[in-house]
Amino acid sequence: MVESLAEGLSDDKLRSAVDGYLDIGGFLDTGGRQQTLFDLESLEAATGRTLNEKERETFIEQQHQANRWTYIGTGITHPRFLETLEQIAPKEVARVVEVGPTFC
């Protein structure tokens, strides 16, 4: 399906599509950070304990990265996704590969 949607698109259109894809990833990452803060509130409420500043920072960093991997990293680095992107927009693969580790 993706191949048929991309068929005949110019390099500019494909670049724009990848820009949009990366923008969506950034949007999801921002939401993931907010979800991490909700997770922290839930953890503290469930345990009846308020984490100290260092514990909070560690939790936020680790949980946010876990959310990144779960919701973005697994897709953006998946070999089948990259293979498909290589087929339809080979000039854009390097950009996606460069961004991918941020979410892993």
Please write the tens of the pLDDT for every residue from 40-67.
Answer: 999 999 999 999 999 999 999 999 999 9
User: Residue 28 domain-assigned?
Assistant: yes
User: Residue 89 domain-assigned?
Assistant: yes
Q: What's the CA gap between 29 and 18, in Å, rounded? A: 16
The domain total for the chain is: 1
User: Residue 24 domain-assigned?
Assistant: yes
pTM beyond 0.85: the answer is: no
User: Residue 1 domain-assigned?
Assistant: no
Q: Exposure string (b/e) for 89-99, b if CB count within 10 Å is 16 or more?
A: beebbebbeeb
Q: Percent of the chain beyond pLDDT 70?
A: 100
Q: Domain range holding 74?
A: 11-103
